[in-house]
Structure 1
Amino acid sequence: MMRGLRAALRISRRTAWRSKGRSALILAMLALPVAVATFALTALATMFAEQHGHYPLGRADALVQGAHGLEGISQDVWGGEIHGARRTDVTPYTRAEVAGLLPGSRLIPVSQQFVRYLAPGGYETGTIRQVDLRDPMSLGTFRLVEGRLPAAPGEAVISAPKLDAQVRPGATLLAGEDRRPLRIVGVALFATTGMWPDVVAFPGSLPESAFELADPGQMTHSWLVDAPRPLSWADVRRLNARGLLVVSRAEVERASAAEPRYDLRFDSSTLPVLPWTGIALLQVVLAAGPAFAVGRRRRAREFALVAAQGGSPAQLRMIALADGLFFGVAGSVAGAAIGIAAVPLAMPGLELWTQRLAGPVTVLWTPVALIAVLGVVAGLLAALAPAIGAGRTDAVAVLSGRRERRRDRAGRPLLGAVLVVAGVAATAVSARYGVHWVAASALLTQLGLVALVPALVAVVGRVAVRFPLPLRFAARDAVRNRGRTVPAVAAVMTTVVVLTAAGITSQTALAQRPMNDRDLPQGPTGALRVTGSDLTPELWDRVRAAVRRELPADVPLVEGRALATKAGLPLGVNLPTPLTRGDLPFRTLDGESGGLLAGDESLLRYVLGREDPRAVAALRAGKAVVLNPAAVHGDRIEVQLVSRDATALSGIVSLSLPAVGVPPTGQGWARAVVAPEVIEKEGYGTVTSVLAVNPADYRTPRATADRIAAAVEAVTSHATVRLESRRGPADDLVVLLVLAVAAAVLVLGMTFVATALAAVEARPDLETMAAVGADPRVRRAVVAGQALVIALLGTTAGVLAGLPPGIAAALVPSRREAWMLVRPDGVPILVRPGETPTLVVPWPLVGLLLVALPLLAALGGALFTGSRLPLPRRRVT
């Protein structure tokens, strides 16, 4: 048995070398899915590998951090503190003291703290790190993508996610309370372990006071250590006793090597993957099937010679199946190698796209091997039907130059019909349980349709009697060569099923009620709002001037102000929670102001959405106007002020204001309004947070809003311009475009491959046409007809088969629970994600699949085919 298999594999290898074009096509069909899956798996494992929270080691031997007074420290390998330490009179270690505990080592300091800094576009709060990136120990903790590294105090690099129109090389940031200047000289990507930095400055750029310990448990000073020898676990425990946490490279590598990279388990969590794997495997098998079928036809004389010399049908089948094994192994190995090799080449681009520094390339060998095995299985399954045909080779007919007589098989229509009915019924039921069950039901339906395709091809051949000659020839050729036609039509059909179902599901999801806060109304219809996060007064003046330039002179500009400290640091405000159902989570749309805005009567009118003399009188009397009367107790409202910066407030501060409640209408756009003078009397300040144009005064045209948005963007990227309008139809252009491109590439690619194989196999018939005087254009018309038959039959069956799973997937109930949305005026609204959606069929995509792509396939077949008919070759006897 093994000797026969080795001989069959040698025959397959030699045959593949002789037919290089067909071999390359089969290898590409089998290797491409394996390469794509391997690349995606390896790239995801590399980008999102488990990362622990310590500062990245780079090329250092260890990371050390701690302070005097920390006792009883017990840590894990990665520097995580397991047991709380007793802290008394905590003082940070100095560099000399740490060096004394690690004799012979070289240290570089690392400091980082959460700091508020002023950028050209406004204030920001983020992590500022101070370390020498030029030191060899820092290599591996960053990648410079633009500019250069800091070389002197006052220079810094910006993290790539923070890059915008104003913050880029050449800009200057002002950090800390004393506004130390940091000039940006480069842009870098950083590892996401620990505190992800916004800015990394050269040592000495900021004073040590900027990195002082806010509390004993927050260690902001660390040292990277270049030790003369690897630090053992005994060294770690020795330093723990002195109040130091240590991350040793040697111990981390040992622990990482001991951790299982991948735990391959087959349990309930594996089940959702199986139907998608089955659909992908079916697609590959059907795509490669025609190439194996044509190969079997071309090797008919070879099979006949083997049969004439005593070869059994089983041996003929083994020779044909050896093709599938040979190409499956070669394609899977090549695909896996290409997928893994492409990861380091693509990683720089992936890092820029994800804006994070990846670790070393991580290959999950067990899943990769499983993917390769599936590729081999796909090759064997694709060669199975041709192998069965090879076992039935009529040696006498082939060696005498006659066509083999085959029984006209119409597949297994009864089995196919049963599977289709069962699949459709399962699809209707599976909508209650989840999209993975829908996929499993769709796979069952597709298997039934594959069994029915031969019967459908036979029907097309019977109704083609009235077609013109090219279409009649194409239809009859398809019936005569079902071994080639059926896999091609089935491959197009399964692709169209997936695309149709995806189109229905995505379009239905887009048409539903928005679940994102940004998609919900933020103001009255027709209002223009400009909101900004922590802008300076100078920037607000420039933004206000930019808005004024685009508006008519008599249009008033409403200004809302948020609470802040006397120094101008914005404060968060917690207002009393409206009455909601206690068993439901809720979210608010309070924005930067926390729901409390300070302003004049124009702001009150904008917020209320109506004229209210009682509310105006209360505002003039120094009272807060609250749109949730239940929050007012004893003519006062209690609010809590929360610091956004560590130095602004110590803890949460309560503030009591005189207040009057007004009945909400569900259309107010804040929860409370108060005069700025009242806030100032309480010892606090206000800062601008929103500018608005009340639609009762002026309805801003869309063109004007676009000009204002461009002008504001030129001033600062921290401000947002929004024109409130009624929610129109979902913008589905991008989704439809992606699906259309995928449909064109997949459907046309499969059709052209099958058509090319059919044209090669139909050469004797074309030679006969040339001999009897057929017009030269007949060849173009015949090839176009073959492409049209394959594409039209596949897309029609695919669209019809894709409707049930698409509808079922769109009707799958959402697993998200109901929740309460608290509008800006405090009115709670119940949101039910599980409501029955309105089905949306993407008719443009359906039209593309049913009409445009078959016509494009026919046109492509005609354009890329020579019109000169080949002359029949004469045989010399």
Structure 2
Amino acid sequence: MKNWYHSWRAAIRIARRDAWRFKGRSFLVLAMLALPILGVSAADLTLRSADLTAAQQLDRDLGRADARVSDPHMGGVPLMQNPEGDNYQPVKSYDDEPWPEGEMDVTTALPAGNESLVDSEGTAKLRTTHGLLSTSVRELRAADPMAEGIMVLDRGRFPRASGEVAATDAFLESSGLHVGSKLTARGFDTSYRIVGAYELPDSLNTAQVNALPGALLAPLDKALAAAELPGTQMSTTYLTSVSGDAGFTWNMVKEANAKGATVISRAVVLDPPPDSDVPLYQKEGASDFGGGSANATELAIISTVVGLAMLEICLLAGPAFAVGARRSRRQLGLVGANGGDRHHIRAIVLSGGLVIGAVAAVVGTVLGIVLTFALQPVLEAFLGKRFGSFDLRPLELIAIALVAVVTGLLAAIVPAVTASRQTVVASLTGRRGIRKSSRVLPVLGLSAVVLGAGIALYGSTASDQTMIVAGGSALAELGVVALTPALVGLFGRIGRWLPLSPRLALRDAVRNRGRTAPAVAAVLAAVAGTVAVATYTASSDAQAEARYEPELPYGAVAVLSPESAADVPSMREDAQKVLPTEVRADVDRVVVGKKSCSSYGDGDECGRYEIVTPKAYECPLWAYGETDEDPSEKFSKAERRKLAKDWRCEQGGTGLGSVGGEILVGDDKLLKVLEINNPEASEALANGRAVSFSKRIFTPEGAADAGKGGAKGGAVAAPKGGLNGTIDVRVVSAAQMKEAESAGESDAEKQPGTVKKLPAHQFSGSENAYGVTVIVPPDAAEKAGMTTVPFGSFFTTEKLPSDAQQQKLAGELDKTGSDPWLTIEKGFVPENSATLLALAVFAGLITIGAAGIATGLAQADAEADLKTLAAVGAPPRVRKALSGFQCGVVAAMGVVLGSASGILPAVGLRFTERRAEDLMYARMMDEGWSSGEEATAPFVPVVIPWETLGVLLVVVPLGAAVLAALVTRSRGALARRAAI
């Protein structure tokens, strides 16, 4: 024991002295070990601090109150809820009865004799320095001690009088207002003074205004109602405190449920009752939804990232210890010459990893804590929420720090074994001997690649376990790492076609595979992880973009007035004055009755119109006929699935085109705004024909019998595009509607009316019409005897309008006194674009760092070769060029291999998600489609982020080479004759 202790003590002292002696190499290894520890410890501290405990979350939701009592809008019927209050349902089953709806008086569910605080929320259009901004308004006495913690005051104070408000910093920044400014709301003459700025700890980017209860929302709603403008749609909850230490107990929650209210109780959430005492859990069919799949995916990703990070550190630090051992081989030879055996030499090299690993653990952990503390405001702004507390968890930080120590030891194992196997004579003379490449390692690597790819393929096609995909991908990547030395040799074969400097760099990389291969594998690991996450993220964005349904083409603007036609001309001029518009397409709408009738047909003297669908073109799943029996019940599941894909049962497109009704009256300019480039449609409008974008309403010429047959579900051929024909429009006057209603006929389709035929052209293109059903030219509408009124305009823009321009236009439109629709299509905004950029930058930095470290080790290991080049007359620039190409070669090989291997886990995870969605879709189809909606199969694409790959494949190796060449001295130190 004594000999063991003293031998290791001596080994640690030698390793410490050696590390201090070669500060440059030691700093490189220290940085490699400390940086990941710094990042992981900072990430752990950030996530723990941002992850609120239940008590902290309740403080932000309830303040100091004991509970929040809410109206679930179920008419006050008795309810059952879970302890958290986010899942509830009626006690009674309403399978054969209408689902309960309606409001209740929440005050009846409050405990008697206890203090309560009203908390109301709504939305109002507030006037800003730019114009109008739709903003959340919250009426809560924020200065009350019961509300402490819900809102955090930044400057000024909370409102104390009805004429005062406070605003979030996000609202002040967006609106251009400040503390002390006056604030007014649309449709309300009363002004308010902003007396303070606050923030919502859980949502720092929310624009909100705070007022006292009854100060803004209720009078504003009353004023808007008087002006016949839309109200605020206010919702109200109650914060309540109860006497006693028990708080709002579970029995009190069940009493409130019996009166129709739901409750979030602090006492119940912190100390939930047993499941046997929760009636909701006892009801058959009741369930709580969890995120097991998402958690498993997150765990798989975290495990893979941590494992690859440790592998990367070992791969980078291992060559450094190997080079250090070679630089100290004379010293190690002297140890052997003085009686030291192999285990003493191994102990010395391992002690180097232990010493530097321990120092890196301390430095990385301390810097991680300091950096997180210093950057806390930045991190909170990035997360959009405040930390609950600066949550230091010593055990977790110690475990993270131990990773550096363990990794340092693991990285030094191979160099230690290699150094211990050298003979004393070889160590003292500096000879390396003849080294042969292992033939077993490539076989093992290839086997691991095949086995890992097979496991990942199985996990993605035959299982829904993401851990299987992650495990198989990790195994395949380890196989690629094992194959790296052999692959480096294959790269060396292209050296014969390269100039001198890159040929020397590539030859040196192949010749010293023990140094090059780990560095290439480290770059491979970093790039593979980045490519995997980038591919998965890009695929998710593509899926979200495919599901996104734009209301208009990108950059297009719509200013529409469904109710008032008198203000439309001024609205059109305002839009052209404020926005950078190009093409303006004016449209009218059809009214039946007075011109003052709205698009919704409100008013006693307002009728309606509808486009008649020929009987043959009616969807059999929707054809009720003379009875009220559900028509879908007439068909089997197989027939329903088939009919769900029938063209007659397709749903119309979404967009703003249907706001004014099924008919828009306009000309060819509307086609230009909708980006419909169809000469036949333009010619039809010019010739006075309507253009139909729906096949179900169009009757081709010579097809007068289209109204016969097809109702029983038989196949009916769709009318071809590009044909001329007619469209039937049934007009029902107000008098006819009243007569039918007085006769007891409430079904709109069975009310009498006058059918008018419009000459029409069936659209033959594939462009999106954005919800437009029919475009009728003005002269055709006039010829058919239709009454039209101005509806609004559609615009194309030179560039996307800014938020300030949108607010300004909203303010100008408000001067008309009406409530127009203002829509600016900003297109799909990917949530992960910043993530992809950050990943590319991260991978670039890691790649450049790893390649730079490999280059530094190559220069230290091949100093004699550089001196030989100088001795034979090589110009100084050769040293810079050689250094740059050495760095570029390592980066290029690692990026190419990493890009290829990083796609596998992303594709596997996407296939797993695709399989899960396909199974869910199949299950839904098995249950049958009774609604008649089109059955759309899930779309789960796999998208390769070519831009990110381009940056990694081209920019990163080139940047690494240039950077290495710039920082390398053109002249080395003069060589001394080596001592013998």
TM-score of the superposition, structure 1-length normalised? 0.69
Correspondences of 1:357-372 after superposition (within 5 Å): 357-362=386-391, 370-372=399-401
Partners of 1:503 and 1:242 in 2: how far apart?
A: 51
**CA spacing shift, 1:443–1:164, aligned 2, 3 Å:** same
2:676 corresponds in structure 1 to none
Correspondences of 1:56-95 after superposition (within 5 Å): 56=60
2:575 corresponds in structure 1 to 547
Correspondences of 1:441-460 after superposition (within 5 Å): 441-459=472-490
Partners of 1:486 and 1:614 in 2: how far apart?
A: 74
**Residue identity opposite 1:21 in structure 2:** G
**Residue identity opposite 1:233 in structure 2:** A
Is the 8 Å Cα contact of residues 114 and 126 (structure 1) preserved in structure 2?
yes
**Residue 199 in 1 paired to residue 209 in 2?**
yes
Correspondences of 1:231-630 after superposition (within 5 Å): 232-233=245-246, 273-362=302-391, 370-398=399-427, 400-405=428-433, 407-410=435-438, 412-432=441-461, 433=463, 436-459=467-490, 464=495, 468-502=499-533, 505=536, 514-519=545-550, 522=551, 528-530=556-558, 543-549=571-577, 555-558=585-588, 597=660, 602=665, 618-619=730-731, 621=733
1:856 corresponds in structure 2 to 959
Partners of 2:241 and 2:309 in 1: how far apart?
A: 48
1:570 corresponds in structure 2 to none
Among candidates 765, 768, 782, match of residue 882 of structure 2: 782
**CA spacing shift, 1:273–1:187, aligned 2, 3 Å:** same
Equivalent pairs, count: 780
Identity of aligned residues (%): 28
The secondary structure found in structure 2 opposite 1:556 is strand
Correspondences of 1:79-118 after superposition (within 5 Å): 110-118=117-125
Partners of 2:120 and 2:790 in 1: how far apart?
A: 27
Is the 8 Å Cα contact of residues 313 and 392 (structure 1) preserved in structure 2?
yes
**CA spacing shift, 1:310–1:562, aligned 2, 3 Å:** farther
Among candidates 751, 754, 763, match of residue 851 of structure 2: 751
The CA RMSD over aligned residues, in Å, is 6.1
The secondary structure found in structure 2 opposite 1:716 is helix
**CA spacing shift, 1:206–1:274, aligned 2, 3 Å:** closer
1:24 corresponds in structure 2 to 27
- Is there any run of 5+ residues in structure 2 with no aligned partner, and where? 71-75, 92-103, 222-234, 273-291, 591-597, 604-618, 623-631, 668-689, 700-724, 738-743, 775-788, 812-819, 926-930
Correspondences of 1:580-729 after superposition (within 5 Å): 597=660, 602=665, 618-619=730-731, 621=733, 636-637=747-748, 691-693=792-794, 701-703=796-798, 706=800, 711-716=805-810, 721-722=823-824
Shift of 1:756: 1.5
Deviation string, structure 1 residues 741-780 (Cα, Å, up to 9, x no partner): 3443222221112101211222233233334443222322
**Residue 866 in 1 paired to residue 875 in 2?**
no
1:172 corresponds in structure 2 to 183
Shift of 1:273: 4.8
Is the 8 Å Cα contact of residues 565 and 791 (structure 2) preserved in structure 1?
no
Partners of 2:540 and 2:469 in 1: how far apart?
A: 16
Deviation string, structure 1 residues 704-754 (Cα, Å, up to 9, x no partner): x746998545323997545699x9x99998787555434432222211121
TM-score of the superposition, structure 2-length normalised? 0.63
**Residue identity opposite 1:716 in structure 2:** A
**CA spacing shift, 1:500–1:348, aligned 2, 3 Å:** closer
Partners of 2:755 and 2:521 in 1: how far apart?
A: 71
**CA spacing shift, 1:219–1:302, aligned 2, 3 Å:** same
Among candidates 198, 209, 231, match of residue 188 of structure 1: 198
**Residue identity opposite 2:935 in structure 1:** L
Among candidates 933, 936, 956, match of residue 831 of structure 1: 936
Point out the more displaced range, 383-392 or 141-150. 141-150
The secondary structure found in structure 2 opposite 1:36 is helix
The secondary structure found in structure 1 opposite 2:199 is strand
Among candidates 98, 105, 126, match of residue 119 of structure 1: 126
**CA spacing shift, 1:132–1:418, aligned 2, 3 Å:** closer
Shift of 1:353: 3.8
The secondary structure found in structure 1 opposite 2:549 is helix
**CA spacing shift, 1:180–1:111, aligned 2, 3 Å:** farther
Shift of 1:119: 1.7
**CA spacing shift, 1:621–1:10, aligned 2, 3 Å:** farther
**Residue identity opposite 2:431 in structure 1:** R
Among candidates 43, 47, 70, match of residue 44 of structure 1: 47
Partners of 1:235 and 1:635 in 2: how far apart?
A: 50
**Residue identity opposite 1:488 in structure 2:** A
Point out the more displaced range, 490-499 or 592-601. 592-601
**CA spacing shift, 1:188–1:22, aligned 2, 3 Å:** farther
Shift of 1:502: 4.8
Partners of 2:496 and 2:119 in 1: how far apart?
A: 81
Partners of 2:534 and 2:332 in 1: how far apart?
A: 46
Is the 8 Å Cα contact of residues 581 and 797 (structure 2) preserved in structure 1?
no
Partners of 1:496 and 1:785 in 2: how far apart?
A: 20
Shift of 1:405: 2.4
Is the 8 Å Cα contact of residues 693 and 773 (structure 2) preserved in structure 1?
no
**CA spacing shift, 1:622–1:83, aligned 2, 3 Å:** closer
The secondary structure found in structure 2 opposite 1:518 is coil
**CA spacing shift, 1:608–1:47, aligned 2, 3 Å:** same
**Residue identity opposite 2:126 in structure 1:** A
**Residue identity opposite 2:472 in structure 1:** S
Partners of 1:241 and 1:73 in 2: how far apart?
A: 8
Partners of 2:392 and 2:326 in 1: how far apart?
A: 41
The secondary structure found in structure 2 opposite 1:114 is strand
**Residue identity opposite 2:167 in structure 1:** I
Shift of 1:285: 2.0
1:815 corresponds in structure 2 to 916
Partners of 2:533 and 2:894 in 1: how far apart?
A: 17
Partners of 2:83 and 2:947 in 1: how far apart?
A: 57
**CA spacing shift, 1:322–1:735, aligned 2, 3 Å:** same
Partners of 2:652 and 2:377 in 1: how far apart?
A: 38
Partners of 1:482 and 1:724 in 2: how far apart?
A: 52
Partners of 2:89 and 2:729 in 1: how far apart?
A: 59
Deviation string, structure 1 residues 247-267 (Cα, Å, up to 9, x no partner): 999x799969xxxxxxx9xx9
Is the 8 Å Cα contact of residues 232 and 248 (structure 1) preserved in structure 2?
no
Shift of 1:488: 0.7
Deviation string, structure 1 residues 534-571 (Cα, Å, up to 9, x no partner): 999999887543335577999423469665999xxxxx
